[in-house]
């Protein structure tokens, strides 16, 4: 079969190049299937920082490959689709963040990893959805600036006694899930639990039995006694959820929960990237060094 041949070719190229294939939990099924490691943003950052491969093939979106390049400067980081971006990450720029910091002198900036390297470089500490509450509560300050996700910011603020200055960014994919759609599904499936990502609108999070990162969702769904679970995050998560829990039914909360950027990377793109060793994602040293400091501070906080 065509797909099997492609997968075999990719596996051979990975070993020839001493490369590791990392894939985010939202990637297409066939990409997750062939990856050396799948994970959430935090898990993939940890792996990118400690792998001894010469090459990291990052199947995800641009900011994730950038984080790998920041953390592993000696390695080649390939992003098979350079056009796989994140609209939320593009909602904040370093210049605009510097201007906001000037309005609040001395207030630390906590930056969600869904952001550019340049934005991380002018931040104090990064966070992911898996550790945002811990990161914020680890700071001694009474006030924080949280960028760029206003929804994750509000989720964390509800679990902290600090005063937040939010950036008005959001994930267009998660924002498309409306509370009315969740209410409707809940009334059609009264025996189902509802779990969602904190990138969802606060009105959606308010309806959830639990809100967590994508890998957190695997753990929660595995442990949950519920036989039916409504899922409020990007559709790619269903691949492993169904595989790991054949006895449970998962209902995607909305057909609109598809991130077009996360769906770009195909097996052909991965093969071509390994053949040409392009496109490479790299970060200039003057940005990489301060950005690494913000990521390292985050990674020092136990998961």
Q: Give the footprint of ligand SF4 on this chain (CB under 6 A).
A: 61, 86-88, 114, 171-174, 199, 234, 259, 261-262
Residue 213 interacts with which of ligand 13P, ligand SF4, none, CB < 5 to 8 Å by class: ligand 13P
The answer to whether the beta carbons of residues 48 and 56 sit under 8 Å apart is: yes
Of 7-15, 48-56, 123-131, 243-251, the segment contacting ligand 13P by CB under 6 A is: 123-131
Of 124-132, 150-158, 202-210, 295-303, the segment contacting ligand 13P by CB under 6 A is: 124-132
Cβ-based nearer residue to ligand SF4, 101 or 269: 269
Cβ-based nearer residue to ligand SF4, 53 or 66: 66
The answer to whether the beta carbons of residues 84 and 114 sit under 8 Å apart is: no
* Contacting ligand 13P within 14-53 (CB under 6 A): 25, 40-42
Question: Could you tell me the sign of the dihedral formed by the alpha carbons of 210, 211, 215, 218, in that order?
Answer: positive
Residue 41 interacts with which of ligand 13P, ligand SF4, none, CB < 5 to 8 Å by class: ligand 13P
Minimum CB separation from ligand SF4 for residue 139, in Å? 23
Q: Is 129 a binder of ligand 13P (CB under 6 A)? A: yes
Residues in the chain, overall count: 303
Q: Is 67 a binder of ligand 13P (CB under 6 A)? A: no
Q: How far apart are CA 101 and CA 236, in angstroms?
A: 36
The residue behind tokens 């980081």 is 77
# residues near ligand 13P by CB under 6 A: 14
Cβ-based nearer residue to ligand SF4, 123 or 129: 129
Q: Under 8 Å CB-to-CB from 19, ≥6 apart: which residues?
A: 13, 53, 54, 55, 56, 57, 78, 274
Q: Please report which residue ranges of the chain form alpha helices under DSSP H.
A: 2-16, 29-34, 41-50, 62-71, 94-103, 117-121, 132-138, 150-157, 172-175, 179-188, 202-205, 214-223, 238-244, 267-276, 285-299
**Residue numbers of the site for ligand 13P (CB under 6 A)?**
25, 40-42, 86, 114, 128-130, 171, 197, 199, 213-214
């Amino acid at each position: 079969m065509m797909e099997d041949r492609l997968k075999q070719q990719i596996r051979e190229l990975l070993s020839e190049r001493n490369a590791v294939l990392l894939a985010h939990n939202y990637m297409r099924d066939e990409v997750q299937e062939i990856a050396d490691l799948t994970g959430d943003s935090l898990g993939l950052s940890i792996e990118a920082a400690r792998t001894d491969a010469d090459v990291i093939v990052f199947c995800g979106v641009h900011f994730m490959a950038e984080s790998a390049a920041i953390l592993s400067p000696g390695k080649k980081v390939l992003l098979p689709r350079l056009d796989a971006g994140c609209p939320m990450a593009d909602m904040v720029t370093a210049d605009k963040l510097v201007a906001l910091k000037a309005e609040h002198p001395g207030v630390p900036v906590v930056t969600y990893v869904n952001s550019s390297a340049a934005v991380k470089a002018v931040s104090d500490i990064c966070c992911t959805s898996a550790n945002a509450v811990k990161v914020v509560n680890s700071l001694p300050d009474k006030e924080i600036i949280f960028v760029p996700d206003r929804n994750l910011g509000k989720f964390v603020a509800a679990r902290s006694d600090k005063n937040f200055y939010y950036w008005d960014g959001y994930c267009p994919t998660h924002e498309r899930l409306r509370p009315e759609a969740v209410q409707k599904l809940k009334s059609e499936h009264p025996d189902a639990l509802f779990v969602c990502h904190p990138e969802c609108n606060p009105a959606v999070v308010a309806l959830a039995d639990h809100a967590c990162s994508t890998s957190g969702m695997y753990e929660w769904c595995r442990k949950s006694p519920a036989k039916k679970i409504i899922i409020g995050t990007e559709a790619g998560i269903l691949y492993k959820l169904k595989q790991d829990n054949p006895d449970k039914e998962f209902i995607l909360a909305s057909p609109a929960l598809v991130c077009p950027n996360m769906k770009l990377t195909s097996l052909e793109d991965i093969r071509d990237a390994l053949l040409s060793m392009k496109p490479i994602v790299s970060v200039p040293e003057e940005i990489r060094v301060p950005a690494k400091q913000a990521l390292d501070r985050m990674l020092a906080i136990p998961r």
